Every structure is written in C-alpha cells, then in structure tokens.
A = this chain, B = another copy of it.
C-alpha cells in the first residue's frame, strides 16, 4: 500500500467533515466559532482521526462508522493545543507556523474556543451515535474511552504533570508519567475508540490496545528527539523549545542514544501487537513506522 496516498485520502475526508461539524452560530457569539475554526483548520497532520479510522478498518469496519468519532478526536486535540499555548501554560505565540489562538483572538476567547471544541466533540459523537443503523453500545464505549483518555487521569493529568515539572530533574519515571498521559493517552484512546466502532472482537481489541499504547509513547519520544535534532522547516516549530522551557523530555532523562533505542523498541512492540492481523492493518503498521522513522533512521 501507498502510505502517502492513504494519509492524503483520509486527511481530506476528515478535513471536509470537520468543517461541517462546527455549529452554525449567529449573533454576538459568532466570533467563538471563528476562533474554533481558525485552530481546527490550521493544517494539522490529523494523526488521531486517521489512527481511529485505520483501527476501525483493521478490524473490518467501515470508515463511515468511525468518522464522527475521528473528527471529535481532532477537536479534542485542537482544544488541548489552544489551552497549552496560553500565557498561563506554555505561553507560545506560534503553532504550525501561524500565530496561536490567543494572539489572534485574545486570551478569554481562546479559553472559550477550547472549551467549545471540547464540548462540540461530545455533541458530534453522541449525535453520530443516534443516527439510524449505528451500534449505540460501541459508540458509548468509544465516548467513554475518549473522555477517559482526555480527562484528568489522561491528557489533562499529563498537562498538569508537565506544568508542575518544569525545572524539575528529568527522571525516566517522571518523563514516562508525563508522556503516557499528555500525548499517549489520547493517541491510545484514538486506536481503542476506532476499534470499538469498527466492531473489534475482544482479542482484537487487546492487541490494538497494545499497539496504541506503544505508538502513543513512541510518538512523544520521537517528538522529543526531533526537538533536539529536527529541522524547524519540517517540524513547524523552533528546535530547542523544550530545553528553553526546561521541559522534562526523554533525551534529557536518558540521553539521546537511549531515547532513540526506546523509540525503536516501541516500534517493534507496536508491530508485534499487530502480527495476527491481515493486510487491513497495513496502514496502522506503516503509520507506526513513519512516526518513529521520521526521528530515528532505521
């Protein structure tokens, strides 16, 4: 299969659908939808929705059953970026090469745009689940996965730990605590939720969960490596920003070589988890490889 074409096709589908899912708001509140749209359509990779769609396909499901959940994942990811960039958090003024939400719309509006995206994500998923022919049990399981992955035991908790840990000594325990929550939990939830709505059997679900856990952490380890070694043109952010913010990163905790070794191990783990699957899981396999090999030469 051609990964580039696969990513392009699924990204286009997500982008077309996402724009439709934003509510039509008239009157004085219109500006918040503008702010939500600004960050949602700023040209992300759509990794989480694509993983969700690919997990559904890996178990023989159809992308149409997973599309609402996939788009909701991107809304949640975007809200987290808007709030992370706020002055009270990382205080970033550039994201994907564009001024961040609060720089353009003001701080109050950026907080509300994030709140709006997080809330609409659950509206989109519940509304999708109520359409004729949907498996409501699977949809409720997906909603629960995503809420758990995004909440205080997951992504929000990871952001808190990150915020509390700046200037702390980076240990392997601390960095794994942060990474598995801040980035890992929502990536893992993307795969798990896609598995549910795609109709995964118990044994398939367990293996996809192992895959999602491994690549959730691998993604952040690769990101840390790119922050040290990466090319700002390709990554869309300034290199060395983590060091500047005194972030707890994998290379800071264990050194660059060990970080690279860890990323490769996680890739192997994710591929091993998929061993019993047929070629329907090839997109998941190639995405995992791509995630790690953009930072670590094979």
The smallest C-beta distance from A227 to any residue of chain B, in angstroms, reads 21
Minimal Cβ-Cβ distance residue in B for A27: B177
Q: Are B161 and A27 in contact (CB under 8 A)?
A: yes
With the chains together, A178 CA to B114 CA distance in Å? 19
- Give the residue of B118, B136, B177 whose beta carbon is less than 8 angstroms from that of A115: B118
For residue A109, CB closer than 8 A to chain B, the reply is: yes
Asked whether A25 is an interface residue with its Cβ less than 8 Å from the other chain, the reply is yes
Contact partner of A36 among B120, B143, B152, CB < 8 A? B152
Instruction: Check if B119 sits within 8 Å of A130, measured CB to CB.
Output: no
**Cβ A118 vs Cβ B118 within 8 A:** yes
A181 to B25, CA, bound (A): 11
Inside 8 A of A29's CB, which chain B residues have their CB? 152-153, 156-158, 160-161, 164, 177, 181
Stretch at the interface among A50-58, A121-129, A270-278, A281-289: A121-129
Known contacts being A130-B141, A160-B28, A177-B28, is A150 close to B108, with CB within 8 Å?
Answer: no
Q: Which residues of B contact A150 (CB under 8 A)?
A: 119
Interface size on A, residues (CB 8 A): 60
The answer for the CA separation of A23 and B130 in the assembled complex, in Å, is 28
By beta carbon, the residue of chain B nearest A147 is B123
A133 to chain B, nearest CB (A): 13
A25 and B116 contact, CB distance less than 8 A: no
> Which residues of chain B have C-beta atoms less than 8 A from A127's C-beta?
144
The answer to whether A152 and B116 have CB atoms under 8 Å apart is: yes
Could you name 21 residue pairs across A and B whose Cβ atoms are closer than 8 Å? A23-B151, A28-B160, A28-B164, A28-B178, A29-B157, A29-B164, A29-B177, A31-B160, A32-B157, A36-B152, A86-B111, A88-B106, A88-B108, A115-B115, A116-B156, A119-B152, A123-B144, A123-B148, A129-B140, A136-B137, A136-B140
For the complex with contacts A28-B164, A130-B141, 12 further pairs of A-B residues with Cβ separation under 8 Å are A25-B153, A28-B160, A29-B153, A29-B161, A31-B160, A31-B164, A32-B157, A86-B111, A88-B106, A112-B156, A118-B119, A130-B144
Q: Which residues of A contact B (CB under 8 A)?
A: 22-25, 27-29, 31-33, 36, 79, 83, 86, 88-89, 106-109, 111-112, 114-116, 118-120, 122-123, 126-127, 129-130, 136-137, 139-141, 143-144, 147-148, 150-153, 156-161, 163-165, 174, 177-178, 181
